[in-house]
């Protein structure tokens, strides 16, 4: 049985929504899942339906969520091309989310518009997980990064971490920087051309 934890969020939209306890709850559950027998894992979401709605091209993130849901016993519905949905006929994102939340227990969404995940969470009857919204946020990638860092070093507090490249439009960087502020004495080295520097609002 999955251990109880202190995760407090109903949606996973932005790194800024997380407390340190929320992050630690995810990391400890992920560690437990990594060691758990596959047959036991398939009982966790048995009978649940996970909708993966990808309005933007994706290979690794889409397949990762599909595989994770199936490994936990869930059925997966959704699309990887918005042109096959009623969006193509003019349906609004809000209406699409309302309809899908009648079919699914959890919605995982990637969208090219910043703020789309927050809108989806506001109108959905079910939990929404942000798999990337424009150049804004990618909180689940950050959780994976923190899990890897913690697994390699045994801790996150006190580390010096360098981030370089496109810091302005890289949503993974925005989420990672915000979540790292929850840990003690973490030093960040940000390296980029001035035109691609970290936005002031991150």
Q: pLDDT digits over 20-56, tens only?
A: 999 999 999 999 999 999 999 999 999 999 999 999 9
For 193, residues 6+ apart whose C-beta sits below 8 A from its C-beta are none
Catalytic residues: 60-61, 89, 110, 138
Mean pLDDT, the chain, rounded, equals 94
Answer yes or no: is pLDDT of 110 > 80. Answer: yes
pTM value is 0.93
Q: How do residues 78-101 score in pLDDT, each as one tens digit? A: 998 877 777 778 889 999 999 999
Per domain, the residue ranges of the chain are 15-133
d(CA 51, CA 65): 10
State which fold the 15-133 domain adopts.
Rossmann fold (3.40.50)
| Residues belonging to the chain | 202
Contact 42, 73 (CB under 8 A): yes
């Amino acid at each position: 049985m999955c251990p109880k934890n202190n995760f407090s969020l109903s949606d996973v939209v932005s790194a800024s929504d997380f407390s340190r306890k929320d992050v630690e709850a995810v990391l400890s559950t992920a560690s437990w899942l990594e060691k758990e027998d596959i047959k036991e894992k398939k009982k966790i979401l048995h009978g649940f339906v996970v909708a993966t709605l990808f309005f933007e091209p994706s290979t690794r993130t889409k397949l990762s969520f599909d595989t994770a849901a199936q490994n936990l016993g869930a059925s997966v519905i959704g699309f990887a091309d918005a042109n096959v949905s009623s969006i193509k006929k003019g349906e609004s994102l809000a209406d699409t989310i309302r309809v899908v939340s009648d079919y699914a227990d959890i919605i995982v969404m990637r969208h090219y518009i910043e703020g789309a995940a927050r809108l989806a969470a506001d109108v959905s009857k079910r939990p929404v997980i942000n798999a990337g919204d424009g150049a804004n946020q990618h909180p689940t990638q950050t959780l994976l990064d923190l899990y890897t860092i913690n697994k390699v070093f045994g801790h996150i507090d006190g580390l010096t971490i360098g981030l370089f490249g496109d810091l302005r439009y890289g949503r993974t960087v925005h989420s990672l920087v915000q979540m790292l502020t929850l840990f003690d004495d973490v030093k960040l080295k940000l390296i980029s051309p001035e035109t691609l520097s970290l936005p002031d609002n991150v």
